[in-house]
Structure 1
Amino acid sequence: MVRRRVPLVTLVWIAGGLVAGGLWWWAVLRLALVPEQSGLVEGAVAAGGWGLSLLPVHVTASAGAGGRAVRGATGARVTTASRPRRWGGGSDPS
């Protein structure tokens, strides 16, 4: 049996994500179930978590995704938009 060691940093990130997710769910459920007793903290946590869900944080710069990965002024990788595809230029006569 092969045992793989998980780095401590990975475990800390996973635990932090679970704690943050638990706090967000607590805030959302408290706002939904007892809105008269919830306050500013619950609203801020719920709105902040919802706002983070709108960010495309899973997207990374990649040259194979149709765009072109280049180095920006700060040295960071920046992805340019891909050109729209042209499929024959006309429509079918129907």
Structure 2
Amino acid sequence: MAGIARWGAALGLGVLWWWAVLRLAVAPDAGVLEGAVAAGGWGLSLLPVHCVPKARAVGAVATGRWVRAWRAAPVTTASPHHRSDAESGPS
């Protein structure tokens, strides 16, 4: 049943998008609504459709990897900068 609803929604939205595009191309009184529908449908076409959950993705970086890397980084042992008002030592 979910497959039929999904196909119905895709077909309905596709028909709505084509109506908006054709109305923009042909009708002189086409306006903002048709432009918004056409631009929104085009924007959705740019989304990736071949997505899988991160746990199943081949080569995906594990969750928390960067946090562990930053925490494991060695702390610097450089000496602090000298203050500008500090006097120099004996020469």
Q: Deviations over 1:50-78 (max 9, x none)?
A: 00111113233411xxx325336xxxxxx
Larger CA Rg, structure 1 vs 2: 2
Identity value in percent: 52
User: Counterpart of 1:91?
Assistant: none
Q: How many residues are matched?
A: 61
In structure 2, how many angstroms separate the alpha carbons of the residues matched to 1:29 and 1:58?
A: 29
- The secondary structure found in structure 1 opposite 2:40 is helix
Structure 2: gaps of 5 or more residues: 65-91
User: Counterpart of 1:24?
Assistant: 17
2:68 is aligned with 1:70: no
Higher strand fraction (1 or 2): 1
- TM-score scaled by structure 2? 0.59
Measured on the aligned residues, the alpha-carbon RMSD in Å equals 1.6
User: Counterpart of 1:57?
Assistant: 49
Higher helix fraction (1 or 2): 2
Q: Deviations over 1:31-67 (max 9, x none)?
A: 1112x2111111110000000111113233411xxx3
User: Counterpart of 2:32?
Assistant: 40
- TM-score scaled by structure 1? 0.57
Structure showing greater relative contact order (alpha-carbon pairs closer than 8 Å, 6 or more residues apart): 2
Following superposition, the deviation at residue 10 of structure 1 comes to 1.1
Q: Deviations over 1:1-43 (max 9, x none)?
A: xxxxxxx111111101100000000000111112x21111111
